[in-house]
Structure 1
Amino acid sequence: MKNIAILLVLLITSGLSAQNMETYIYSIKGQDTLRLDVFTPKNIKKSDSLPVLLWMHGGGFSGSHRAYPDDQNLVKYAAKEQNYIGVSISYRLLRKNTATGFGCDCTKDDKMETFKQAAIDYLDAAKFLVENAESLHIDASKIIAGGSSAGAEGILNAVFMKDYFVANKEAYNNVKFAGLFSCAGAVVDARYITEENAIPAVLYHGTEDQLVPFASASHHFCDPKKDGYIMLDGSKIISEKLQEFEASYYFNIVKGGGHEVARIPIEEMDKIFNFFERTVINDEVIQTKIIKTTEK
């Protein structure tokens, strides 16, 4: 395996959970040692090469962690029930312990730098998986990018805005994403979604999300006079771009829903993975929009 010198391997095998877990260091950046947890099916064969769900947790770029129960349960589920490699990553929490946080007092420049570095960390994690694909039993052509809230913003910018945020794009020439799974996410500028980078997408979003806009609006709905005013394009705009390019999507709209829709919909995983089976594995084109209403 490449990069063996920087690997921290913690092997945990559980008969109850029916998957194996290993932890690796994928990058060291200043004071931050960035790790990822790799869950594999318990009975994986040496010859297996499996699709991957590469997950980025939420937390406003200031909190939470890769082993938060909801996030870890998702990647465990991917390995145990769907025969995927499930991966949950740490990344730099650049707004942690800052006076302005990530709201309307955080400057536009600081927000853009946070989005940029989160996207780069995510790409570095994907690059690590690609470089070690054989040893990790990964099919590098079938990486599903996934995240919720801040993590969804990170993965959407990594998938669609690499040309904007990354100076050394050639370093990631071998990183290709086959699909994405976003819970309450947005991209900095949907005009960067093109026919070339449009991929099958699962999108969950509430129409009344006051933190990450459902359509096109300011982040946290900040007033234009505030330092943190920055426009973002949410799931509605992303789905419209995918529609334009005849790319697959499974768009779950929650009418009246707020940012709680960032919660991982673990009860709907069978439908989500069925969508990826049909679109990523079998190359079908499916465009589905589901509209739900919040319970009052």
Structure 2
Amino acid sequence: MKYFLIPFYLLLSVNSFSQKKYLEKIAKTSKRKFTYQRIKKEKNLKLDFYKPRKVKGLKPLIIYVHGGGFSGGNRNDKYAVDFSKEMASYGYAVASISYRLTMKGIGFGCNIKADLKIQAFNEVSKDISYAIKYIIKRNRKFKIDISKVILVGSSAGAEAVLNLAYVYENEILDSKFKFAGIIGMAGAITAIDKITNSNAIPTQLFHGEKDDLVPYHIAPHHYCKKENIGYLKLYGSRAIANQLKSIGKSYYLYSVKNGDHSWNSRPIYQCKNEILDFLYFDVLQNNERQTEVQF
């Protein structure tokens, strides 16, 4: 296992590498909408599927999960559309998904019971699983590489994908299915000991150290007090990286010294090269690296 501590100003752009698929833009993109889950008395769940045009063969699949506190946000907001188009232009297939907004009209603050928050994590993990199952079942149409499914989430979406990869007891996807990698932008999980040698996958984490909603290290969600019914201890990006480091697994931690919760979306525009680097070298090429970037 190689360990890298990289000051931000020494990072090399992936564009300095010789031209390669997944590292430089190779195609224009197309988009189609699909209904992946029909729900009685609720809005049907849809996904927007982006792919590179005229690119043959099976493609790695990125599942993008938007943020919004489990009460808002949209699969086709500007962040989702820009990110999905960009990644598709490099050769990836991308599915930006809708999910049930179980906390809409309720909130996610310190006055909301902790068990409802955990339930929200699990319900979105369930919806993501159904979206993946839908694509896999129809893979003659989608043409994705099932061994290269990558989760990406922002804020609540990051909490959802991290929960899905490391905490959620999945009874929807095949027991042999395993994600190829995960990118969490300002996310956290509820149980650090759930990350083990058997389920660890290449994990990229972006987080502001001054995030006042989702803790960078170990702290309550929204920094609620212990007497609040919404008190829920979370393990943020620093804690997740520490756990992966301790068991000798691959991770890529991008820490922003004075960064706030806006780093749940800023990496989409400001850290494209770091994302491409991680996806290509850590996920697709399976290089075992432990990388830390200080900004």
TM-score range, shorter chain: 0.7 to 0.9
For residues 85-104 of structure 1, the aligned pairs below 5 Å read 85-98=93-106, 101-104=107-110
Within the candidate set 76, 79, 92, 1:70 is matched to 79
Q: Tell me the residue number matched to 2:144.
A: 138
Report the Cα offset of residue 124 of structure 1. 1.3
**Per-residue deviation at 1:60?**
0.5
Q: Is the 8 A contact 2:190 2:235 kept in 1?
A: yes
Amino acid at match of 1:27: Q
Structure number with greater CO (CA < 8 Å, separation at least 6) is 2
Tell me what 1:83 maps to: 91
Instruction: Verify the 8 A CA contact 1:130 1:174 in the aligned structure 2.
Output: no
Following superposition of structure 1 onto structure 2, how do residues 157-168 of structure 1 map, counting pairs within 5 Å? 157-163=163-169, 166=170
**1:243-282 correspondence to structure 2 within 5 Å:** 243-265=245-267, 266-282=269-285
Shift of 1:87: 1.2
1:29 maps to 39
CA contact (8 A) 1:130 1:175 kept: no
Contact residue 209 and residue 259 of structure 1 kept, 8 A: yes
CA shift, 1:174, in A, is 5.0
Contact 2:126 2:172 in 1 (8 A): no
The 5 Å alignment of 1:170-185 reads 171-173=173-175, 175-185=177-187
2:29 touches 2:52 (CA, 8 Å); kept in 1?
Answer: yes
SS at match of 2:38: strand
Aligned-pair CA distance for 1:240: 1.0
**C-alpha contact 1:123 1:172 (8 A) present in aligned 2:** no
Q: Deviations over 1:54-74 (max 9, x none)?
A: 000000011110000111110
Q: 1:42 aligns with which of 45, 49, 53?
A: 53
AA at the equivalent of 1:67: N
In the aligned structure 2, how far is the partner of 1:227 from the partner of 1:151?
23
Pick aligned residue for 2:287 from 278, 284, 288: 284
Residue type of the alignment partner of 2:149: I
CA positional deviation for 1:117 = 0.4
Aligned to 1:56: 65
TM-score normalised by the chain length of structure 2 = 0.87
Which of 130, 155, 164 is matched with 1:149 structurally?
155
Identity of aligned residues (%): 35
- Tell me the C-alpha RMSD between the 2 structures: 1.5
Q: Counterparts of 1:210 and 1:271 in 2: how far apart (Å)? A: 24
Given residue 36 of structure 1, which amino acid in structure 2 is its aligned partner?
Answer: L
Q: What is the CA-CA distance between 1:134 and the residue it aligns to? A: 2.9
Q: Assess if the C-alpha contact under 8 Å between 1:140 and 1:176 holds in 2.
A: no
CA distance in 1, matches of 2:275, 2:212: 25
Give the Cα–Cα distance (whole angstroms) in 1 for the partners of residues 159 and 92 of structure 2: 23
The number of aligned residues is 267
From 110, 126, 129, give the equivalent of 2:135: 129
Q: Aligned pair in 2 of structure 1 residues 175, 72: CA closer, same or farther (>3 Å)?
A: farther
Cα deviation, residue 171, structure 1: 4.3
User: For 1:146 and 1:89, how far apart are their aligned partners in 2?
Assistant: 11
Task: State the 1:208 CA deviation.
Answer: 1.4
Distance 1:92-1:253 versus aligned 2 partners, 3 A rule: same
1:126–1:175 CA contact under 8 A, matched in 2: no
Task: List alignment gaps of at least 5 residues for structure 2.
Answer: 1-26
CA drift of 1:271 comes to: 2.4
Deviation at 1:170, TM superposition (A): 6.0
Q: State the Cα deviation string for residues 63-107 of structure 1 (Å, max 9, x = none).
A: 110000111110111111x10001100000111122xx1111111
CA contact (8 A) 2:129 2:173 kept: no
Q: Distance in 2 between matches of 1:269 and 1:130?
A: 27
Distance 1:290 1:68 in 2: 28
Q: TM-score, normalised by structure 1?
A: 0.87
Instruction: Give the distance between the partners of 1:209 and 1:144, measured in 2 at CA.
Output: 25
For 1:228 and 1:172, locate their aligned partners in 2 and report how far apart those are by CA, in whole Å: 34
The answer for the alignment partner of 1:6 in structure 2 is none
